[in-house]
Amino acid sequence: MKPKKTAGHKPETAGEFDRREFLRLSGVLAAAGALGTAACSPPQEATVPFHDMPESLVDGLGRARFFRTVIDGSPVLVKTREGRPILVVPDPAGASSGRGLSARHHAALMDLYDPDRARGPLSVRRGKGAPVASSWAAVGAEVVARLKTAGPKAVLLAGPVSSPAVEAAIAGLSAKTGLRHVAWSPLECGAAGVAWQHAFGSAKVARPRLDRASLIVGLGAEFLDRPDEGFEREFASRRSPAQGAAAMSRFVQLEGRLTLTGANADRRIRVRDSHLAAVAAALARELIVTRQIGPLAPLAEVSAALAPFSIDAVSKPAGVDAEALASLADEMARAAGKAIVVAGGTASASASGPALELAAILLNVTLGAFDAGLLDESAAAEPFAGGAAALAALAEEMAAGQVDVLVVARANPVYDGFSQARFAGALAKVPFVVSLNDRLDETSASADLLAPASHPFECWGDASLPAGRTAIQQPVIQPLFDTRGLLDVLVEWGAALGDPASAAAVTAAAAAAKVAPVPSAAAPAPSPSPAFHYLRAAWAARLALDPATPAFDAAWNEVLRTGSAFAAAASDPSAAAATARLATATKPESAVARPVSAAALTLLAGAEIKTTPALELQLYPHLALGDGRSGNNGWLHELPDPVTRITWGGALSIAPRRFDEMKLANGDLVEIDVGHAKVVAPAYRHAGMHHDQVALPLGLGRAACGVIGAGVGPNAFPLRRLLDGRLVSSGLPVSIRKAGGREELAFAQGSDVIDRARRPLVPVTTLSAFEADARSGTEQQHGGPSAWPEHPYPNTRWAMAIDLSLCNGCGKCVLACQAENNVPVVGRRGMLDGREMSWIRIDRYYDAPKKDGGWDAEVWDGPLEVVEEPRTLFQPMLCQHCENAPCETVCPFVATMHSEEGLNQQIYNRCVGTRYCANNCPFKVRRYNFWEYSKAQESRFFRWLEPRIARNAALNARSPMQMKNNPEVTVRSRGVMEKCSFCVQRIKAARSEATREGKPRDHFEDGAVVTACMEACPTGAIVFGDANAPNSRVAALAAGPRAMKLLEALGVEPSISYLSRVRHDKA
């Protein structure tokens, strides 16, 4: 799109006019120009930078604005500076929303400022020839005309819709034209819904309350791998002795692949996905039938259904130690009433998934989890309608020519469909396809029209949260390109097709556009967005207020301020929404004698181990990329998988023993054959993997998402299979063979295994040892006296404490730091070259058990006895702000130095880049700008000579990517060292704030300064503050028995204390 000319006069030749004449003419011309343009479009204004920055805008004085909004169903707080969103942080008020932030939410800015988004409507012409620019008017007219004629032969294929308003708008469209709505979510497996439907007659799955359980048994649970489901905080609430050692919960996980969740378990039993259901049934049988525990024990049907699943019968074919299962059953029996079983995750997406989920229900009923309130039905998620079966049916219809118009919205089935759907071929048979996706992706590329939807940060919407709450999605920036919000588009089309609610909204928007915007505190500024008016009307109904009254305006403003509200009818969140049915149902003496319907027990047949494939495949969502929607997001690609530590791509996880037997090396290409599809992927020796299972991440291998993510990793979606209306993505029979060739894996970590006897770098202990001696796990060699004079710190002294019992390794601190501190993306090549820039990283180690005579060199090669049953440790590693910092003494340019407040400061202007400081840093946390990341180097010759120059520019320096930069933090040039600054800009801001408000500036209370990593941490593992302040929390933690400062023998005296990770070993 060509930029519009700035309205104003044409420059004249100065010599022909005198000054007055010139000014007069200019005035006339400017007025004429303004008049001429004002009528048809908003006035365009030239942007003139300030010569002298007004005081209110000077850094540290001007304040950032925070907006509450929602993205993909998770409430967030968006920080904006000068009208630009620069940071996404968890909404502190949203902690109770039952939703959490995933990596994708933290990295949403990169999606917003993605230069590869479509810049406006395009006529794609089915990929024949280059796309041609179109206009919204033309697109709207054509789509409306097509929808009118197509009637019920029109289908809207949408991704998961969490917005009630969007649903209503779609319903409005359907009512007028007969348009059908097909929902498609590539990661939805629906097994839990099936089991709950069978057992209780409702597919609403109750939400586990991990904060109330003393024993959590995970059956392939992935609650930490899917942080948007919001379990991290609840799980963490009882994981640290800081919250009371006696109350610590124990977590036992049974799983096939070492997941992030399993890595946080106190005990882990390897069971392959397809056998999990049988093992779960065996546990159920042991408790219900053998030990006669719980309300189900007297029921003959239950005993009969569980009969084939004795521990002895299951343990052998499943390859699980019978004693381990028996001891687990003991443990569960002892914890009855305080124990919860969590099934799910990818394991539920196996053929036996419903059986697994049902076994979990039986176990929970037996253990009294329902009675004890460990399963919260008031926060049950609405079941997902549609899914794989619907998509398959749609594809068939399309192929049969029964679909005339297909509208695709936030769905990309050409990429993420399963192979039976053969969606791409079916798409060709549809006469008219319009895509509302945000770019020319795989599906849009074969559409007729692309009407790009705005990023959620650019438009209005809403989202339903668990427990009857609805969140508002308010725009935090004007659309960057010529895009429109999804709701805007639907409402406009609805209006054109005669939907009354939409028509009213469009009329109101048109009226608002004519009124000059006069913002006032009382009434919201009128917005020309139809979605805005549509939402207001919907919310007026939700809040049961008349939209014309000031009461509604006040309530509306309150919603915008708080971000969400309960519907008027169900405004009491604490109301026992849990149905009476279940509360009584699980009690044997109650009227309903059969709590779980007998029909459900037939599902258990699916658990039986019949013919077992020699090797099975699990396809799990990539922890950062999820379903691959944000495939062009460099931050997400570069966020290391917490367990494998792989960036920029994915690999086939193979059990260490099998890996060694196949004589593979990390990165060797392997062909994965599931019968109906084949994929080639690099191999990875995945610690803790079940010997007969391999795993491959989903969400990679985008073909058309933009220059950043295209072609990164293998696309595993076609490997999935449709089975009985459910999409099976684990337990798939598979054969693998060496394909020849290599694809180097971009690891974000050097060595995996640590022998803590020799390198006591991570304080770890067990609960029993901790109770005997709270200092256990922090033992290390002590150093000699220091020759350096001590720093005095008369006032503030900044310090940090990191509780390793709380840290689950999710890596969101990494993303928050990257956004806050303008940390560039280095790309796959950069990671391979060892040039990662992130200021904070999560080191992941496998703890080598004590061995007589020590481990010597072989421990670093990951011996089988360590990596087959790994004990995973996570340790956030960032600049330790050492008292006697080795980096400070060696810099010849004095570019790094110690502040009076204990910060180890890096002065970019002084840094000439000897890298001596980085060499001398024992923690290797200093980061060097090997390239010019922040701006493109233009020489064509050198870009040709060194392609990495162009790649770095593509990753970091294309407009409008620079808009994501935090103006409070310097953007570093090449050749300069950088590192964690303890968010010094926030410290300075707090100091300015204190100055302005006349508060004391020598000490800061807890919470006055919150670093970006601390802010993002969902579990509160990171505590930062002024250690010299009275009642300082960080000082108390650092003085506590669990604190350990690393490498004491070196005498560097870090400012960061690590609190020991306490494993709950009391079965």
Partner 1 sequence: MTRHEVSPYATVMDDGQLTGRPIVLPGAGPYGGDLEVAEPLVTGGKTWAEVDQDICMHAERFPTRRWWIAFSVALAFLGLLVFSLTTLFYAGMGIAGVNQPVGWGSFIINFVFWIGIGHAGTLISAVLYLFRQQWRTGINRAAEAMTLFAVACAGIFPIIHLGRPWFAYWLVPYPNARGPLWVNFNSPLAWDIFAISTYGLVSLTFWYMGLLPDLATVRDRATHPWRRRLYNAMSFGWTGSHRAWRHYESGYMILAALATPLVFSVHTIVSFDFATSVMPGWHTTIFPPYFVIGAIFSGFAMVITLMTFMRGYFGMKNYITLNHMEAMAKILMLTGMLVGFAYSTEFFMAWYSGSEWEGFIFKNRAFGPYWWAYAIMFTCNAIVPQLFWWKPMRRHTAVLFVVSILVNVGMWFERYVIVVTSLHRDFLPSSWGMYALTFWDYAILLGSFGLFFTLFLLFVRVLPAVAISEVKGVMDPKVARGMPSPTPLPTAAGGGAFEEV
Catalog residues that contact partner 1 under the rule CB under 8 A: 749-754, 758-759, 761, 781, 833-836, 841, 843-845, 856-857, 860, 875, 877, 886, 889-894, 910-916, 918-920, 922-924, 926-932, 937, 939, 942, 945-946, 948-949, 952, 973-977, 1047, 1050, 1052
| Nearest distance from C-beta of residue 957 to partner 1, angstroms | 14
What is the torsion angle, in degrees rounded to the nearest 10, for the CA atoms of residue 1014, residue 1017, residue 1018 and residue 1021? -80
- Whether the link from the prior residue into 876 is cis, omega within 30° of 0, is no
Is the Cβ of residue 317 or residue 947 nearer to partner 1 in the bound state?
947
Is the Cβ of residue 488 or residue 978 nearer to partner 1 in the bound state?
978
Question: Which residue, 625, 652, 653, 620, is CA-closest to 637?
Answer: 625
Contact 639, 811 (CB under 8 A): yes
Cross-strand pairs, 978:
927
Contact 887, 794 (CB under 8 A): no
| Nearest distance from C-beta of residue 11 to partner 1, angstroms | 37
- Residue 1038's CB is within 10 A of a number of other CB atoms, namely 22
| Nearest distance from C-beta of residue 679 to partner 1, angstroms | 29
Is the Cβ of residue 771 or residue 946 nearer to partner 1 in the bound state?
946
Question: Which residue, 411, 359, 420, 395, is CA-closest to 727?
Answer: 420
- Residue 762's CB is within 10 A of a number of other CB atoms, namely 20
Is the Cβ of residue 422 or residue 948 nearer to partner 1 in the bound state?
948
Opening angle at CA 988, ends 982 and 992, nearest 5:
155
| Nearest distance from C-beta of residue 804 to partner 1, angstroms | 14
Task: Give me the helices (H) in 39-135, please.
Answer: 103-106, 108-112
Question: Which residue, 685, 952, 673, 902, is CA-closest to 800?
Answer: 902
| Nearest distance from C-beta of residue 867 to partner 1, angstroms | 14
Six-digit token string for 48: 């003139």
| Nearest distance from C-beta of residue 1053 to partner 1, angstroms | 12
Question: Which residue, 541, 577, 627, 592, is CA-closest to 382?
Answer: 577
| Nearest distance from C-beta of residue 239 to partner 1, angstroms | 22
- Residue 38's CB is within 10 A of a number of other CB atoms, namely 12
Amino acid found at 494: G
DSSP for 467-502, written as a single string: GGEEEEE--SS--SSS-B-HHHHHHHHHHHTT-HHH
| Nearest distance from C-beta of residue 925 to partner 1, angstroms | 8
| Nearest distance from C-beta of residue 833 to partner 1, angstroms | 6
Question: Which residue, 255, 272, 277, 273, is CA-closest to 264?
Answer: 255
Six-digit token string for 146: 């097509």
Is the Cβ of residue 904 or residue 952 nearer to partner 1 in the bound state?
952
| Nearest distance from C-beta of residue 224 to partner 1, angstroms | 20
| Nearest distance from C-beta of residue 788 to partner 1, angstroms | 11
Six-digit token string for 590: 């109650």
> 107: Cβ–Cβ under 8 A, 6 or more apart, which residues?
88, 624, 630, 633, 635, 636, 639, 815, 819
Is the Cβ of residue 147 or residue 977 nearer to partner 1 in the bound state?
977
Give how far Cα 25 sits from Cα of 6, 9, 643, 670, Å.
Answer: 17, 9, 69, 74
| Nearest distance from C-beta of residue 965 to partner 1, angstroms | 20
Per-residue three-class SS string for 535-556: HHHHHHHHHCCCCCCHHHHHHH
| Nearest distance from C-beta of residue 924 to partner 1, angstroms | 4
Is the Cβ of residue 194 or residue 807 nearer to partner 1 in the bound state?
807
Six-digit token string for 308: 């084939």
**Size of the chain in residues:** 1067
> 651: Cβ–Cβ under 8 A, 6 or more apart, which residues?
644, 666, 667, 681, 682, 683, 684, 696, 745
| Nearest distance from C-beta of residue 922 to partner 1, angstroms | 5
Is the Cβ of residue 743 or residue 946 nearer to partner 1 in the bound state?
946
| Nearest distance from C-beta of residue 624 to partner 1, angstroms | 19
Is the Cβ of residue 753 or residue 816 nearer to partner 1 in the bound state?
753
Distance CA 906, CA 900 (A): 14
Is the Cβ of residue 762 or residue 819 nearer to partner 1 in the bound state?
762
In this structure, what DSSP letter does residue 289 have?
Answer: I
Give, for 1015, the enclosing helix (H) or strand (E): helix 1012-1016
Is the Cβ of residue 975 or residue 1020 nearer to partner 1 in the bound state?
975
Distance CA 622, CA 633 (A): 13
| Nearest distance from C-beta of residue 945 to partner 1, angstroms | 6
Distance CA 201, CA 360 (A): 16
Is the Cβ of residue 66 or residue 788 nearer to partner 1 in the bound state?
788
Is the Cβ of residue 313 or residue 757 nearer to partner 1 in the bound state?
757
Give, for 986, the enclosing helix (H) or strand (E): helix 984-996
Six-digit token string for 816: 């928050």
Is the Cβ of residue 89 or residue 877 nearer to partner 1 in the bound state?
877
Give me Rg for the CA atoms of the chain. 30
Six-digit token string for 162: 């969490």
Distance CA 404, CA 401 (A): 7
Is the Cβ of residue 518 or residue 857 nearer to partner 1 in the bound state?
857
Is the Cβ of residue 566 or residue 860 nearer to partner 1 in the bound state?
860
